[in-house]
Structure 1
Amino acid sequence: MEELAEVAGITVRTVRFYRERKLIPPPRREGRIAWYDDTHLARLHTIAALLERGHTLSGIAELAEAFDHGRDVAELLGLGAPSEEVPVRLSPEELADRFGGQATPENLAAALDLGYLGTDGGEIVHISRRLLDTSAALVREGIPLADVLAAAKQVRSHADALAELFTELVLAQPGRTTEDLQRLRPLAKSVVEAEVSMALDRWLQRQR
């Protein structure tokens, strides 16, 4: 603990206090020896950065608990599962910077439940750069992150239904396999994009 405190630039008493508040995970123990590693150091740096940004220790503790109970990145992305999305690795403070004061424990929990976020050691992994950038852009437009995530939950439900519909359409044909489904993915995306575009056209027309 003394070495960890020295490298982090804080006192042993502070490290012990953070440990008691469950702000950092417990060390790995071998007999009476407690081993702290780079994960603990990264968490201490995160705590310092979040404190500088005005977060309270209670809020940081809630965030830490959410991170520690979040899904592992391998579970989130799926081992060997095909995907066109590019995951993004973020530190907790980088995530806070993207969404300002709206990176609250409640919003983080909602993002974890959606499967948008996973954990990998001291890092957070967002499953999709496109979704991350879009969410941040909507927040910059003044839409609360909580509303963005609530809408995302509804979009997920509709998207799952559309994916199931397209899957049944393809695989119902004789001799079709999941390889055909993967090959025809761009067609499904084109249909959905066109239909959403036309739906927005119809909605805008009704507002005139």
Structure 2
Amino acid sequence: MSEHEAGPQGTVREYRTEELAEAAGITVRTLRFYRERKLLPPPRREGRIAWYDDHHLARLRTIAGLLDRGHTLGGIAELTAAFENGRDVGQLGALLGLGEDGLGWSEETPVRLTPEALADYFEGEVTPENLAASLDLGYLATDGDEIVHVSRRLLDVSSALVREGVPLAAVLETGRRVRAHADALAALFTELIAAHVATDPAELPKAVDHLRPLAKSVVEAELSMAMDRRLRG
């Protein structure tokens, strides 16, 4: 085992092939098989020696956890590819208009998850297609070996709907359509506040944040009455 400097964050632990296999609780043969299947990123090479780090160890533990949950190696490879092609936290912030860390300004509380924990939230529904849709929609982003869900409330509601029998793909498509309506409502209220409360553009963000609870109450009441009308109709 080796350690080398990694800047202000300290040192990075590295493992030879045999050491990584032992730390992960697998055989060297299995480790090489995973590497051949491209389930692991390439190691750092120093001559003929392959050096792995804690990210490789985390990936191996993720593979083991997903296998325990019934995923196949082919499915794990597809999930891995979807994760690696997804947005990171910084890109998520830019997409949703949040801070540089992707976690600022919004009232929502982000949730950090391991891939195994995500699989537990949506048992049997974490497919490459659903994962790609979640990443594209901006519900999920990657941060190193972790996944970040943008909203605790959306995560809990989505998993509750899945437990009630709604397919995750349908939940995500509904979320996409709801976002389009939510964007239109946000524009409506922002224009209202800009026209009557914060005529100085510099004051608009503060005014919108101050009046946000009133806008939310209007939307919640109107949605409740609209659902009543649907049920009576």
TM class, shorter-length = over 0.9
User: Using the alignment, how far apart are the partners of 1:54 and 1:31 within structure 2?
Assistant: 38
Q: Give me the whole-angstrom Cα distance separating, in 2, the residues matched to 1:166 and 1:30.
A: 59
2:54 aligned with 1:27, yes or no?
no
Which residue pairs with 2:165 in the alignment? 142
| Pairing 1:1-208 to 2, within 5 Å after superposition | 1-29=17-45, 34-77=50-93, 78-79=98-99, 81-173=104-196, 174-175=199-200, 176-206=203-233
Q: Which moved more, 1:124-133 or 1:12-21?
A: 12-21
Q: Deviations over 1:163-182 (max 9, x none)?
A: 11111221234234221112
TM-score (norm 2): 0.83
Measured against aligned partners, the alpha-carbon deviations of 1:119-165 in whole angstroms (never above 9, x if no partner) come to 11111111101000000110111111111111111001111111111
Query: What percent identity do the matched residue pairs reach?
Result: 70
Instruction: Quote the Cα distance in structure 2 between the aligned partners of 1:146 and 1:125.
Output: 19
Unaligned runs of 5+ in 2: 1-16
**SS state at 2:165 partner:** coil
In structure 2, the residue corresponding to 1:6 is in which secondary structure? helix
The one-letter amino acid of 2:147's match is I
Letter in 1 for 2:231: L
- Sort the Cα spacing of 1:51 and 1:84 in 2 relative to 1 into closer, same or farther, 3 A: same
Indicate conservation of the 8 Å contact 1:73/1:119, yes or no: yes
For residues 118 and 201 of structure 1, what CA distance do their matches in structure 2 show? Answer: 36
Structure 2 distance, partners of 1:14, 1:148, is 37
The AA in structure 1 aligned to 2:23 is V
Q: State the secondary structure of the residue aligned to 1:24.
A: coil
- 43-52 vs 8-17, which moves further: 8-17
Alpha-carbon distance between aligned partners in 2 of 1:164 and 1:42, rounded to the nearest angstrom: 42
Q: Separation in 1 of the partners of 2:138 and 2:173?
A: 13
| Cα distance in structure 1, aligned partners of 2:223 and 2:148 | 28
Distance 1:16 1:82 in 2: 45
Find the residue that maps to 2:109 and give its secondary structure: coil
SS at structure 2 position matched to 1:86: coil
Kindly provide the CA deviation profile for residues 65-114 of structure 1, in whole angstroms up to 9, marking residues without a partner as x.
11111111233243254011011111111111111111111111111111
Q: How far off is 1:30 after superposition? A: 5.9
Provide the C-alpha distance between the structure 1 equivalents of 2:189 and 2:42, rounded to a whole number of angstroms: 47
Q: Secondary structure at the match of 1:177?
A: helix
The alpha-carbon deviation at position 28 of structure 1 amounts to 4.1
SS in 1 for 2:40: coil
**What is the alpha-carbon root mean square deviation over aligned residues?**
1.7
Aligned length: 206
Deviation of 1:32 (Å): 6.1
Name 2:8's counterpart in structure 1: none
Cα distance change on mapping 1:23 and 1:202 into 2, 3 Å = same
- Determine the C-alpha separation between the residues in 2 that align with 1:6 and 1:73: 32
The 1-side partners of 2:89 and 2:54 are apart by: 18
Q: Report the CA distance between 1:27 and its aligned residue.
A: 2.8
Counterpart Cα distance in 2 of 1:177 and 1:92: 39
Letter in 2 for 1:111: S
